Amino acid sequence: MSRQAAVDTFFHEPTYTATHVVWCPDTGKAAIIDSVRDFCHRSGRLTTEAAQEIADFVRDRDLAVERILETHAHADHLSAAPWLKAALGGRIGIGAGIVEVQRAFADVFNSGPDFGPDGSQFDDLFGDGDRFALGGLAVEVLHTPGHTPACVSYVIGDAAFVGDTIFMPDYGSARCDFPGGDARTLYRSVQRLFALPDDTRVFLCHDYKAPGRDAFAWQTTIGEQRRRNIHIHEGIDEAGFVAMRTGRDRTLDMPLLIIPSIQVNMRAGHMPPAEDNGAVYLKVPLNRL
């Protein structure tokens, strides 16, 4: 099988999200990881500029999308997975832990009998160690929870797509205070990633441009993370990380788009069903988050 994955990244600055298109150079078989649906929280208007840019890229290069992958149920942007599937094909996949997320939030949003918290909204639910091929590239799924219980990383050829598990070395690690999140679990997940070869390319889901850095960035290596990550580099023990992470999390506000994002993303990017007037609504639960 091929070893070197081809990767192009599309950065959505309104949500600081990096969407990655990864493909096998030999066959053109491709995956789209952590896509974004444009959403204006002030007006409630949905648009598809970010997804359209990716669709245009895929068609221009004559790639064949086989997978539309989520690293977790994002709390800061809406997924464009169903729109991309309709436009380009491919199976929508996420970690099997999404069921735990769905169960936690189905009650928060009173999702009703139409919503089954069983993961059936997705085409594929991946367990730790699951493997599949992307053309000539081998893909392995690593369960890397801590930020959320559904978090997975995809090791595709020589590259790892780690979602929010870690950020650029000068920015650190993800929060662990969402339902099912746990700082101790995140520490152990990162150690699993650190066991990958040092030259493994690491692609992140977000960047917030750490103080002193002029440009956004979303690619690093395992070796660089092990040596330089400001929260969890070699020499930081589990107890020290847990104390830092839990203390830091207590100071953080909820993400701006958490309420619409979770409602949509726990449905694999689909909107709730239309109500009797034909309109679709997203709920704002009071005093539940």
What residue ranges in 51-123 does DSSP mark as E strands?
Answer: 64-69, 91-95
For 125, the 3-state DSSP assignment is strand
> Per-residue pLDDT for the chain (289 aa), expressed as one digit of tens each?
568 999 999 999 999 999 999 999 999 999 999 999 999 999 999 999 999 999 999 999 999 999 999 999 999 999 999 999 999 999 999 999 999 999 999 999 999 888 999 999 999 999 999 999 999 999 999 999 999 999 999 999 999 999 999 999 999 999 999 999 999 999 999 999 999 999 999 999 999 999 999 999 999 999 999 999 999 999 999 999 999 999 999 999 999 999 999 999 999 999 999 999 999 999 999 988 7
Question: Could you tell me if 180 and 149 are in contact, meaning their C-beta atoms sit under 8 angstroms apart?
Answer: yes
Show me where the domains of the chain are located. Answer: 6-252
In Å, how far from its chain's centre is CA 20?
Answer: 10
Q: How far apart are CA 255 and CA 15, in angstroms?
A: 10
Extract the tokens encoding 140.
């392995």
Give the residue carrying structure tokens 């205070």: 177
Question: pTM higher than 0.85 for the full model?
Answer: yes
pLDDT of residue 2: 60
Tokens standing for 211? Answer: 């103080």
Domain 6-252 sits in CATH at 3.60.15.10
Strand spans (E) along 4-90: 6-12, 17-23, 29-33, 38-40, 45-47, 64-69
Show the tokens assigned to 198.
Answer: 């040092």
- Residue 139's H or E segment, with its range, is strand 137-143
What is residue 85's predicted lDDT score, i.e. its pLDDT? 98
Distance (Å, whole) CA 121 – CA 265: 10
Q: Coil, helix or strand for 255?
A: coil
What's residue 288's pLDDT? 81
* Beta pairing partners, 23: 6, 30
